[in-house]
Structure 1
């Protein structure tokens, strides 16, 4: 009987130690479901081993695994029902088995107990209890049987990491339970009946006294060591535990979802495409008003102000916070999340309104999940979430017919506080204040002009909003693009060539860039405008900018023009000054005769009694001037050559390709045919071909005017002059044959024509290769880091050949001054 009683505490200790791992892990889970399921697994695993103690050892493991399968199936069902996940038990369990570990390590804290986040801890707990019970009870090695629960407990601490407070009390209880189990399971001393009562009693008393003294001494020593060494050891340990989530790649999205802004133009061309269907409920559960006949909203032609304020519901698809001068990107780190998402803290000057929508996906593709900002509960779909931007994704991708319900807290700032609100600054908002290198100078000047006239942050934001709404046209067929050159063409390009018109993509991107240049933290949001019920079509998709204000949060702005207003030309309010205006041709100074000319000194006489002779002074001055001019020309030649070498030979392959392209554009500038920043690389290549061969589009410059070194007409005249010898030679050749010229003269004419033909062929080849250089430049811009050294070397060769070919078409005097012209040294690099 006593032996049976001594055997009971060991299983109880194993159950308690194994269940405590669930308590520790449950600190990062939402609700009490996980600790309860793991406690059941701990109890069941140890109970099976105790009940099967009399059976052969090889039969215990199969029986325990069968019991584990039953408990796991029941637990999966409970978790699926609680999370509201559709699908059969087999499908849910299979998905959890495939994705349990990565989803557990990438889940958002607090983790919702769904089948995929419960399966791994459940199985690990059961196996730890089974192994510990078999070793401690069947093998009789209690201390060794504690090893599996200890490892499970340590694993729970590691998974929690820095995401919860230190588990002090669970650890104390864990150690105390383990100690009690060891003490109770100690083997008894010799049987009292085998020894005389008197000596046995004396012996037992002596042993107990010795053990008590040894225990007391050992306790004092341990406590003393802990007090002496503990602080030193603790000081060597990092105060923040390692987070295993940083070693696991979170859910990723495709490029189309990383930058959905480029989809605006495609949706605008197919406005009737039904992307999704929405049904909005009021907080009391009744459907929103107007559900019977929801009007369609075509966002490609109608701005949000067309709708009465409060009737339109903005459904957000993605928030784009990162801009590198080429593309606006979400830049999110998604974490698997359950139904309950982290609660957003409202700004002090804002009010929160609860919006509950049932959304059915139609023809919308990708992984981004539409929802009203800011979502706090999602049911019907497994999602991943980025709290910093509030963007939702479905890792498996969207499918037609997918239906889910999302409850959001829509934040409404107090408009009365906007006029006096400030904007934050510092490292916390550096991401939404960053301006990438390469901003066109006209954008900087426009931003500075708007900022000078408006001091307060809200006034600056409103000024940018009004400037875009008053001067630009909203169209549906504008090409996509929001890189710096695209924005420069949208803002300053000539109207008759497609400038000053665009979709909401260009309006929102231009607002965000101009805002950041004036010190406003901005971002771009892509979404849809909906009445709250009914279909949401592609024409309702649009982009809008937002500005972050202290105490108010993110405030949306609407820079789209009114449909009934004709935009005013940009030149009326903003006319930027060129960076390097061409020098005006000043008239030659007129020498006026003097009334009483001074007497001329003798040519060989001194100017005064102590001065040098006049010829010496004149000769010395002329020589010094020539030396000075020569030094300046040599310095300019050396600087130009150093600039060319630096562009073509230094930096990574991408920088060298960009440098080769600058050599081509500088050559066009020197030839009197500059290209504006609004032109694409392929358009510049066509103009470069025209500059050499005379074919292709004319070299008109786009507004605003840039640097010029001559008119296109001058260049055409020089080109015609360069081609004149060949035409003259042909004329001479024809006349020679008709008049019977000698064979020697005819051979000379043929050689002259052949040389001109070879020269024209070389020029044509050099012009054709510029298109190849334009392709390499586009590769560098849209796929950074993919250029190779061979491509950079090829770009340098193409640029060198083209510059030589273009220079050969200029006049002799122009070719002489080509290498020392200071223009490329002061042009923007």
Structure 2
């Protein structure tokens, strides 16, 4: 347990070790509150120590319990219980809905049941006692087949997995089995699984695994969005509220005093940027009176997940650097589909369904963060042929309020006309509302976006003055008409970027007078695409009140002097030359390839280095550990390893003299001569009447070194490298 705690501190909290004693406090808080964070954090979440500590401790506890049950429990299936419970707890704490666990469930069932069958077939019979005589073994003990023994085959089982020599020799007294042997009385006899048992057990495993997995998938609570998930019953204490609907604040912000809000830095290609607008809030639900969004904000880490995102966005991955210029409201600037956030000096919460960010603490001047997001490319060539996004998650973006007036329904039909494709309907709706003769843009237009206000705005037979509208009316009318035509849509509130506020390429200062709102339509394979039913060039227009004596109702009247002198919004030039999938300043796919290449490089270096290092460790241990007899046996094992690297048989039935003869035949007489001199030392050390001394041990290792040199001298470069990196000596040998 102490090792698990030390691992948790040194590895999971490595970045906080410089904080001193506070790392212990962080560790305790993670152990105490980790389960709560796992149930509330947005998925996928960044793998920091606060989240990983509890799973690491649970895995250690399951592994420890399993090891104890393997040794002590008589029940065959008992060791499967801890990992199974750990797996269930992991599902409850971290599993995300919507992902099929069919393959993983089947794999766990097959492996668990197969291990149970094999272990049951290997269990020893009760009361069976074995007396095993061993020959020349890896631990230096002797047997009848060793040189000087009773004539049975020489080498037998090795004592340890690393081939290390024992610290003491067996007793030197002679026994009935030969001059020097060892009896393992009282050791249980473990047997190989019988073929008949496996022939019955394996098909049974396959059948039970198939039935269990199939029943789990068919269960109504095991898969899909309806399965039980404790995350649904514990919501984070994040309450993001705004005193006013952000949509109705657009008009007052544009007509009020100008305030600097934040600075945005975007990747720029020759002065061109990928987007001309920044989003702060999304409105999805319309009850006929007002727009709102009731989706839940969750606390999250540096990874902004897409598990609960109903629409997948493709395009360019870019990074946006945001710095607050003044204290502000709860909503933070975003764009596209956010995927990550870093260097944040403000506490934040994330809304996975819309991609919105909100500050959980009051926003201060100087607060900063860097956001990574996927943004649809301007003028995507796939737009004309794109269909609308579909699925059960799209339903909220098609919902309509009750009792929609006929005037609004007729307006939708008139706007779309004969268009049948999604893009054709969208462009027709945009052109219909962009008609300044029918729907003039007027900063002094009457506010309101209820069904009654939209009926007056869209009714062609109504009063002309009611057709004057501003962003609030245009964007609401577009989304309502789009939903009537089965186009999933929503309202985005944010700011238009103004090229006049750019101090350098890609950097913009956003002010309150750049407030704006626009509709977004969900298109399959592209994401949320923005459209402009409001004529952006006329956002500062103030039309004179209609003349009651004018039969036109005021249409076509001259603009007020302020409106005539007002400049149109100067929008930044968009980068329309970028290919789909380009990174545009983000990490993108190229970073992933670099990471994979680095991992492969580390593996390619670590494995050979590990093989060479382990061989060197064994060689030092064999040469230095134990009494002289053990070191002589270690020299012989070292020779056998060098021969095995070069393809000489590792058979346990070969005596030392036979190995020397084979080496002479295959690798030359010089190698054979060295082994012929070494073989008597091995036999004498293991089966002689007297204990060998240090001189014998040094002589054995001198002969081993000479044999190794002769082997290297006879190798070519390729064969020498292959032998050096060969893992054969580290692998277990078949026992007879």
TM-score by length of 2: 0.51
Name 2:411's counterpart in structure 1: 446
Q: Hey, what's the Cα distance between the residues in 2 that align with 1:507 and 1:131? A: 65
Of 452, 458, 480, which residue of structure 2 is paired with 1:485? Answer: 452
Q: Hey, what's the Cα distance between the residues in 1 that align with 2:192 and 2:23? A: 60
1:237 aligns with 2:216: yes
Q: List per-residue Cα deviations over 1:713-756 (Å, max 9, x = no partner).
A: xxxxxxxxxxxxxxxxxxxxxxxxxxxxxxxxxxxxxxxxxxxx
Contact 1:102 1:248 in 2 (8 A): no
1:112 aligns with 2:41: no
1:538 aligns with 2:512: yes
Name 2:153's counterpart in structure 1: none
1:166 aligns with 2:104: yes
Q: Hey, what's the Cα distance between the residues in 2 that align with 1:572 and 1:447? A: 24
Q: Secondary structure of 1:409's partner?
A: strand
Give the Å deviation of 1:449. Answer: 2.6
Of 338, 343, 352, which residue of structure 2 is paired with 1:380? Answer: 343
Q: Hey, what's the Cα distance between the residues in 2 that align with 1:170 and 1:231? A: 11
Of 55, 58, 68, which residue of structure 2 is paired with 1:124? Answer: 58
| Distance change >3 Å, CA 191–CA 445, structure 1 → 2 | closer
Q: Secondary structure of 2:104's partner?
A: coil
Contact 1:259 1:330 in 2 (8 A): no
Of 496, 499, 508, which residue of structure 1 is paired with 2:475? Answer: 508
Q: Which has the higher contact order (CA 8 A, sep 6+)?
A: 2
Q: Secondary structure of 1:261's partner?
A: coil
Within a 5 Å distance, the mapping from 1:237-276 to structure 2 comes to 237-239=216-218, 240-241=222-223, 242=227, 244=229, 246-251=231-236, 253-256=239-242, 260-265=246-251, 267-268=253-254, 270-276=256-262
Give the Å deviation of 1:543. Answer: 0.6
Q: Hey, what's the Cα distance between the residues in 1 that align with 2:14 and 2:121? A: 36
Name 2:264's counterpart in structure 1: 278
Give the Å deviation of 1:443. Answer: 1.9
Name 2:377's counterpart in structure 1: 412
Q: Hey, what's the Cα distance between the residues in 2 that align with 1:182 and 1:384? A: 55
Name 2:291's counterpart in structure 1: 328
Contact 2:122 2:192 in 1 (8 A): no
Q: List per-residue Cα deviations over 1:237-285 (Å, max 9, x = no partner).
A: 33545563553444554343996434434534544233322223448xx
Contact 2:93 2:231 in 1 (8 A): no
Name 1:77's counterpart in structure 2: 13
Contact 1:413 1:555 in 2 (8 A): no
| Distance change >3 Å, CA 490–CA 148, structure 1 → 2 | same
Contact 1:323 1:329 in 2 (8 A): yes
Name 1:527's counterpart in structure 2: 494
Q: List per-residue Cα deviations over 1:126-159 (Å, max 9, x = no partner).
A: 444566678888xx55877875455324433555
| Distance change >3 Å, CA 269–CA 102, structure 1 → 2 | farther
| Distance change >3 Å, CA 228–CA 508, structure 1 → 2 | closer
Contact 2:408 2:459 in 1 (8 A): no
Q: Hey, what's the Cα distance between the residues in 2 that align with 1:234 and 1:167? A: 6
Q: List per-residue Cα deviations over 1:588-611 (Å, max 9, x = no partner).
A: xxxxxxxxxxxxxxxxxxxxxxxx
Give the Å deviation of 1:166. Answer: 0.5
Contact 1:356 1:406 in 2 (8 A): yes
Q: List per-residue Cα deviations over 1:539-563 (Å, max 9, x = no partner).
A: 2221101234456544322222333
Q: Hey, what's the Cα distance between the residues in 2 that align with 1:516 and 1:314? A: 23
Give the Å deviation of 1:412. Answer: 1.9
| Distance change >3 Å, CA 418–CA 222, structure 1 → 2 | closer
Structure 2: stretches of 5+ with no match in the other structure: 133-174, 178-184, 308-312, 499-505, 556-736
Q: List per-residue Cα deviations over 1:744-774 (Å, max 9, x = no partner).
A: xxxxxxxxxxxxxxxxxxxxxxxxxxxxxxx
Q: Secondary structure of 1:439's partner?
A: coil
Structure 1: stretches of 5+ with no match in the other structure: 1-44, 46-63, 199-203, 290-308, 345-349, 576-829
Q: Hey, what's the Cα distance between the residues in 2 that align with 1:153 and 1:428? A: 29
TM-score by length of 1: 0.46
